[in-house]
Every structure is written in C-alpha cells, then in structure tokens.
C-alpha cells in the first residue's frame, strides 16, 4: 500500500522545524530516517496530516566531542555512528549495539535520534544510551532543554518529547577504554530483539572498577540492571564473579509476554544473555 | 512538489505527491520496473537501490527524500550490453529461481562488496540479512557473491587476462 495523503514540510534549520511542528499541531509526524515511520505509513497504522522531514537540517547530522561527552547529532545514521572513531573510542557500547540494528540498508537510512525518539522498547539503542547516562538535547518553541535518558523514556513508544519538540542531539558521557558488548537474542535475521543486554565495564588491574548494564525489552522502557552492576563493582573480572552477577539480571524488571515468549522466558534470557555479554566484554 | 534526481545516469524532474514512495516513483513514473516491491513492511529488500552510493530500501523512502540525489537501480548496472560482474556471477552460479529477489540481492551484494571486497561466507550472509529469498535457500546466492568478489579483484582480473593470453584464446 501507499501512505494516505499528507502535507510535507522540509525545514532547513532546527528553528524552522520546531515552527513547522508548532504550526501543524498534534497531527504532525517528524520524519527522520523513516525506517520505522515509512512502513507504518504504508500500512496506514498512522495517517498524519503533516510530515516534517528533518533530513535537510545540517545541524542535526554528525558527531563531535566536548571535554566530557561524545555528541551525536540526532540525524546521524546508524551506519555512520557504528563506524565513527569518537563513538568507538569513548562509547563503544553504542557502536556495538548500533551494528546489530536491523540490516545494512536500514542502517544506511535509520538514525540514532530517530530510534531514541521512536522509543520502541525492543529498539537496540535505548538501553545503551541509558546505561551510559546519555543526555538528550531537545529543542522546542521556548528554546532548548536537556533531559537525561533516565527521564526521557516514559512508556511504550512514549518519551517526554512534546508534540512541538524535536530531539536535536544526544550527549554521551565519555567511557574511554571501557570494555563493551551488546548481546542480542532474536530468532531470525533482522527481527527485533526479544531480549538484549548491553554491558560496559571499566577494568583496571584485573578488577572491575565500574560497570554499566542496560536491558532491552525487559519493560516498557529500557532498564539498568543495578543488581548486576553492584555485584560486579570492586570484584575481580573472573568467570565466577561474572556468572554470579548475571543471576541478578532480571531483578526489578517487568518484561511483557507476547508471541516471542512470556515474562518468565524473558527473565531467564536476561540472565543468560547478561552472562554471555559480560564474558564477551571481558574476553574480547 | 517538484523533485529532481539522477537515475541510472539520466536526470529527471517531476511533480510528485509528497506521499509518493521512491520505488513507486521509479516504477510508475520513470518506468524503472526492474526494481520490484515484495512487501509492505520494509523486510524483504527486493526494492533495494543505491542512493548516493549506499543501498537503501526504496519502499521505505519518499521520492521527496531523494530530491537532489543520485540513484542507481538494477537497470543501470550493465555497461555496453555487458552484465555487471555481480549480475554475471548470479547468472553463472544459478543464484536465482523465480528471480523476484534478484534485483535487490544484486544491489545489496554490490554494496557489501564495496565495504568488504573479500568477504567470508559469514560476512556475505550478514550483509544480505535485509534481503529475503523464498526459493533458493541462499546457498548459490552466497556462492555467487564470493565468486563476484574474485572477479572484481584487480589482481584476479590481471590473472585471468594472463591465463587467456597463455591459453591462446
Ligand atoms: S518492498 Fe520489501 S523491503 Fe521494500
Ligand atoms: S529466487 Fe525466488 S525469491 Fe529469490
């Protein structure tokens, strides 16, 4: 099928984009890379009256750094994020997770900010952003504000973004030299994660000095596996410690049940995948 | 709205409705029916084309988003009546049965070889993750892509030419 008719706006600055959203009211949709939106429009699961295409706003693309953060423009594609040296050096968990998103064609078009704003709990970038303490830079009619990832995700497909607000960039605090792995479980190629686990560890002299663990699709929003983190910090990075820590993975989560598996199955998966992710991060 | 794009080396300017999908524009307005549509969900990859040198699913992009871009479709690959080496490798390795997935497979294969000119089997399978084939079981497709990689290698070209000369053909 083809989408139902809509008006199309193509702003060239963030301010114009916000104005287009203000003018359009509640019925507007922001078109970023379009890899989730276009299929939804084609199946007519959504029929916005206005589509605001932010693909020609130069400020939204590219990756920079400041003293403490890697700053990822919202419209930077998955392909560019995964290959970027700043991301690989200072936020390797983001690179590892991004490599697993969908398939190559979709990674060429899909964007970092689009995935976060879409807030699908099975999306692979939410948990890594949360685990690394990312901060969302949001533009609206009254200027810009910053929202930590821990407050940004509200529910299934729901963020704190208002209808007239736009995600501009994401500041990811530098985790230079941390060991990372993203372990994703799905049944067929290009399918969404049933459960996935992102881990990032700072290991020094064989000891785990710090740990961040984020879970994908274990609740309506991404969650930090705090129990796992606490069981790791200050311990030697050995197989026994990793295995024991992974046992805490499902604590405090509220996974859904669907055709891919029920809540108990997801909880078990979270532990198994956390164990794998930890040993992969330490071993390679 | 008015959009301009270069498709297979020719520039076209047309009026399109904003909701027009790129694939629909290619097929219905420009007659590029070599690019096909296999699904509504962005999963099958049959519609894969190159936009500014990268593979994309042309069903998951608006024609408006391709305004000002350079597009290559399966129809733009052959040179002077000679198939592109990847097309020839698909032919020689019997990498198709019904052929519906083939335009997309070939466009994606070219993209993956541009990123990795000498991929192992695993890399080929991962690189074709976004393309579904309901006929072949993929074996010959993977074989064809690896065969194409050898054909495309400059060293291999030189070797083959030497062989040809030595063989007196
Ligand atoms: S037609 Fe299936 S992915 Fe485009
Ligand atoms: S040859 Fe028939 S779908 Fe691939």
pLDDT at A96 over 60: yes
Q: What is the distance in A from the centroid of ligand 2 to the CA of A137?
A: 45
pLDDT band at A187 (very low <50, low <70, confident <90, very high): confident
How far is Cα B112 from Cα B125, in angstroms, rounded to an integer?
Answer: 10
Domains of chain B as residue ranges with CATH: 2-76 (3.10.20.30), 85-166 (1.10.150.120)
Strand partners, A111: A77
How far is Cα A43 from Cα A117, in angstroms, rounded to an integer?
Answer: 20
Nearest CA in chain A to B127: A104
pLDDT for B27:
98
B82 C-beta closer than 6 A to ligand 2? no
Taking CA atoms, A4 is separated from A1, A7, A28, A41, in Å, by 9, 10, 13, 7
How large is the average pLDDT for residues B140-151? 97
Query: What does the pLDDT look like over B7-53, one tens digit per residue?
Result: 999 999 999 999 999 999 999 999 999 999 999 899 999 999 999 99
Q: Which ligand is nearest to the CA of B60?
A: 1
Q: State ipTM.
A: 0.94
CB-based contact A198:A278 (threshold 8 Å): no
Of B37, B101, B130, best ligand 1 pocket probe by most atoms within 8 Å of the beta carbon: B37
Q: What is the distance in A from the centroid of ligand 1 to the CA of B42?
A: 4
pLDDT band at A188 (very low <50, low <70, confident <90, very high): confident
Look at A84-93, A190-199, A240-249 and tell me which has the smallest mean pLDDT.
Answer: A190-199
Give the gap in angstroms from C-alpha A68 to the nearest C-alpha of chain B.
32
CB-based contact A93:A173 (threshold 8 Å): no
Query: Residue B161: how many CB atoms within 10 A of its CB?
Result: 10
Average pLDDT, chain A: 97
Nearest CA in chain B to A79: B54
What share of chain B in percent tops pLDDT 70?
A: 91
Which is more confident, A191 or B73?
A: B73
Q: CB–CB of B129 and A104 under 8 A?
A: yes
Largest CA distance in chain B: 59
Average pLDDT, chain B: 93
Domains of chain A as residue ranges with CATH: 7-53 (3.30.43.10), 61-173 (3.30.465.10), 179-283 (3.30.390.50)
Nearest CA in chain A to B66: A55
CB-based contact A145:A138 (threshold 8 Å): yes
Query: What does the pLDDT look like over A195-236, one tens digit per residue?
Result: 999 999 999 999 999 999 999 999 999 999 999 999 999 999
Give per-residue burial for A152-164: e unless 16+ CB within 10 Å, then b: bbeeeeebebeeb
Q: CB–CB of A190 and B130 under 8 A?
A: yes
Cα–chain center distance at A222: 9
pLDDT at B168 over 60: no
Beta carbons within 8 Å of A53's beta carbon, 6+ residues apart = A8, A9, A10, A11, A31, B62, B64, B65
Beta carbons within 8 Å of A267's beta carbon, 6+ residues apart = A218, A249, A250, A253, A255
- Encoding tokens for residue B137? 């079981």
How far is Cα B93 from Cα B91, in angstroms, rounded to an integer?
Answer: 6
pLDDT at B54 over 50: yes
Strands (E) located in chain A = 7-9, 28-31, 50-53, 63-65, 69-73, 135-140, 143-148, 153-155, 158-159, 166-173, 179-185, 195-204, 207-216, 223-224
Q: CB–CB of A104 and B40 under 8 A?
A: no
Q: A104 and chain B: CB distance < 8 Å anywhere?
A: yes
How does DSSP classify residue A249? T
Query: What does the pLDDT look like over A7-47, one tens digit per residue?
Result: 999 999 999 999 999 999 889 999 999 999 999 999 999 99
| B47 Cα nearest atom in ligand 1 | 4
pLDDT for A257:
95
Taking CA atoms, A89 is separated from A76, A126, A133, A270, B3, in Å, by 17, 19, 16, 27, 40
Q: What is the distance in A from the centroid of ligand 1 to the CA of B44?
A: 5
Residue in A4, A7, A109 closest to B56 by CB:
A109
How large is the average pLDDT for residues A102-129? 98
How large is the average pLDDT for residues A80-106? 98
Give per-residue burial for A7-30: e unless 16+ CB within 10 Å, then b: ebbbbeebeebbbbbeebeeebbb
Query: What does the pLDDT look like over A45-69, one tens digit per residue?
Result: 999 999 999 999 999 999 999 999 9
pLDDT for B169:
38
Phi, psi of A98 (to 5 degrees): -65, -35
- Encoding tokens for residue A78? 């998955």
Residue in B19, B45, B64 closest to A53 by CB:
B64
- Encoding tokens for residue A24? 């359009």
Q: Are strands B70-72 and B2-7 parallel, antiparallel or unpaired?
A: parallel
Q: What is the distance in A from the centroid of ligand 2 to the CA of B98?
A: 5
pLDDT for B166:
44
pLDDT at B142 over 50: yes
Strand partners, A169: A73, A137
pLDDT band at B94 (very low <50, low <70, confident <90, very high): very high
pLDDT at B133 over 80: yes
């Amino acid at each position: 099928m083809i989408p139902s008719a809509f008006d199309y706006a193509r702003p060239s600055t963030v301010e114009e984009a916000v104005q287009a959203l203000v003018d359009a009211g509640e019925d507007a949709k922001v078109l970023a890379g379009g890899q989730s939106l276009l299929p939804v429009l084609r199946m007519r699961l959504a029929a916005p009256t206005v589509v605001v295409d932010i693909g020609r706003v130069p400020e939204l693309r590219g990756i920079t750094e400041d003293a403490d953060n890697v700053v990822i423009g919202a419209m930077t594609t998955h392909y560019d994020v995964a290959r970027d040296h700043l991301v690989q050096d200072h936020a390797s968990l983001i690179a590892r997770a991004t490599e697993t998103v969908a398939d190559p064609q979709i990674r060429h078009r899909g964007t970092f900010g689009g995935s976060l704003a879409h807030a699908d709990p099975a999306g692979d970038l939410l948990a890594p952003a949360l685990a690394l303490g990312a901060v969302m830079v949001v533009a609206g009619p009254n200027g810009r504000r910053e929202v930590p990832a821990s407050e940004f995700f509200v529910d299934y497909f729901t963020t704190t973004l208002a209808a007239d607000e736009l995600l501009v960039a994401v500041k990811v605090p530098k985790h230079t030299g941390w060991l990372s792995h993203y372990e994703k479980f799905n049944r067929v190629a290009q399918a969404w994660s049933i459960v996935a686990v992102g881990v990032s560890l700072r290991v020094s002299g064989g000891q785990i000095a710090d740990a961040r663990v984020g879970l994908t699709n274990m609740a309506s929003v991404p969650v930090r596996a705090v129990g796992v983190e606490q069981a790791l910090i200050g311990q030697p990075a050995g197989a026994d410690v990793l295995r024991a820590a992974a046992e805490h993975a499902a604590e405090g989560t509220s996974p859904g049940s669907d055709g891919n598996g029920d809540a108990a199955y997801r909880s078990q998966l979270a532990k198994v995948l956390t164990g794998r992710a930890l040993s992969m991060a330490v071993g390679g | 709205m008015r959009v301009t794009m270069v498709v297979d080396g020719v520039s076209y300017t047309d009026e399109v409705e904003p909701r027009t999908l790129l694939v629909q524009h290619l097929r219905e307005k420009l007659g590029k029916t070599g690019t096909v549509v296999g699904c509504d969900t962005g999963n099958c990859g049959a519609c894969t084309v190159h936009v500014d040198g990268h593979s994309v699913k042309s069903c998951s992009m608006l024609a408006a988003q391709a305004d000002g871009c350079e597009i290559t479709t399966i129809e733009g690959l052959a040179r002077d009546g000679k198939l592109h080496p990847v097309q020839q490798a698909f032919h020689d390795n019997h990498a198709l049965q019904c052929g519906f997935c083939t335009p997309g497979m070939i466009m994606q294969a070219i993209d993956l070889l541009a990123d990795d000119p000498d991929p192992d089997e695993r890399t080929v399978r991962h690189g074709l993750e976004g393309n579904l084939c309901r006929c072949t079981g993929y074996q010959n497709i993977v074989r064809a892509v690896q065969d194409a990689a050898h054909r495309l290698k400059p060293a291999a070209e030189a070797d083959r030419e030497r062989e040809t000369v030595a063989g007196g053909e």
